[in-house]
Amino acid sequence: AKTNNKGEWAAKTNNKGEWALGGIAPGAWHVDFDKAGYDSVRITVSVEELSRVPPIQTKLKQSAVDPNTVIQAELLKASGLLGEKKFGGARAIYEGILAKYPQAYQVEPLIARTYYGEQQYDKAIDHLKIAVAKDPGSIENKLLLGNILIERGRAEEGRRVLASVDDAAVKDPTTFVNVGIGLINQEKPDEALVYFEKAIGRFPQSGDAYYYRALIRLQKDDREGAKADLKKFLELAPNAPEAAAARKALEQIK
């Protein structure tokens, strides 16, 4: 036995859980039992001079595990697997979390991400729909769902989802630009134009939307409008991957 850094007497149990402490003064002593992972217990023991204290039996109860701590540890493991593109392994962890903690519906978008990574797009959409139903206030989930729906050719359904999001809540021009690109790929330039103009209106210093709006204006033979957009794009993003194509288009317009 010895004193700790607080000047308190301390003793460790042996491998049978037994302990002994001698040489202490008579009086009433508080005895604390501590073990990592268990609830602490305090008892009071009366010590009398020249007498032996009868054996004391104390049982510690295992501490309740904080589910948030468990979930965070599991999410960290799954994140590592996602980084290695081991989508099935990551999904197994997410599904295990849901099975044990059904209230942790925040993993639904993560499950969707694993299916998307495996090109199982319908399943990704299903899990994003669950996420939106569970947390209708999540803008991010609605944007993800709307984008994937449009990307997969379900433009009308995707637009309905995106229409439920306040444009002012969108914090990244890529959101609008990606929707517009998806509509261009479906040969719906007029509908795509709406999203590029939203991107320009909300984020005028982001170049991509000008480039894609220029492409649509060229289709409509709006050469002056396309020229202005291409110049603006090159001003904002002179080193973008599309910059060479933009310069070539400008030369052809001249």
- Give the DSSP H or E segment for 27: strand 27-33
Tokens of 148: 């994937």
For residues 27 and 52, give the distance between their C-alpha atoms in angstroms, rounded to a whole number.
13
Query: Greater confidence, 125 or 4?
Result: 125
Q: CA neighbours within 13 Å on the CB side: how many for 254?
A: 8
pLDDT of residue 6 exceeding 70, the answer is no
CB contact at 8 A, 39 and 61: yes
> What is the CA angle 232-233-236, rounded to 5?
85
- Has residue 237 been placed in a domain? yes
Answer yes or no: do 156 and 203 share one domain: no
% of the chain with per-residue pLDDT over 90: 56
Range of the domain at 209: 186-254
Count CB-CB contacts under 10 A for residue 8: 10
pLDDT band at 5 (very low <50, low <70, confident <90, very high): low
Answer yes or no: do 92 and 37 share one domain: no
Average pLDDT, the chain: 88
Mean pLDDT score, 1-21: 66
**Where is the domain boundary, 112, 133, 165?**
165
pLDDT band at 164 (very low <50, low <70, confident <90, very high): very high
Answer yes or no: do 72 and 121 share one domain: yes
Which pLDDT does position 27 carry in this prediction? 77
Answer yes or no: do 96 and 128 share one domain: yes
Answer yes or no: do 26 and 110 share one domain: no
- Has residue 249 been placed in a domain? yes
Per-residue pLDDT tens over the stretch 41-99: 888 877 777 677 677 777 878 766 677 888 999 999 999 999 999 999 999 999 999 99
Which pLDDT does position 40 carry in this prediction? 81
Per-residue pLDDT tens over the stretch 182-226: 889 888 899 999 999 999 999 999 899 999 999 999 999 999 999
Which pLDDT does position 169 carry in this prediction? 84
Which pLDDT does position 209 carry in this prediction? 96
CB contact at 8 A, 212 and 180: yes
Let me know how long the chain is. 254
Number of domains in the chain: 3
Which pLDDT does position 15 carry in this prediction? 79
Global pTM exceeds 0.85: no
- Has residue 160 been placed in a domain? yes
* Helix locations, the chain, DSSP H: 67-83, 87-100, 108-117, 121-134, 139-151, 155-163, 173-185, 189-202, 208-219, 223-236, 243-253
Which pLDDT does position 202 carry in this prediction? 94
Residues ≥6 apart with Cβ < 8 Å to 132: 138, 141, 142, 145, 161
pLDDT of residue 1 exceeding 70, the answer is no
Answer yes or no: do 73 and 161 share one domain: yes
pLDDT band at 124 (very low <50, low <70, confident <90, very high): very high
Answer yes or no: do 104 and 23 share one domain: no
- Has residue 59 been placed in a domain? no
Strand partners, 119: none
Whether the CA torsion 187, 188, 190, 194 is positive or negative: it is negative
pLDDT of residue 7 exceeding 60, the answer is no
11-20, 181-190, 231-240: range with lowest mean pLDDT: 11-20
Mean pLDDT score, 142-151: 91
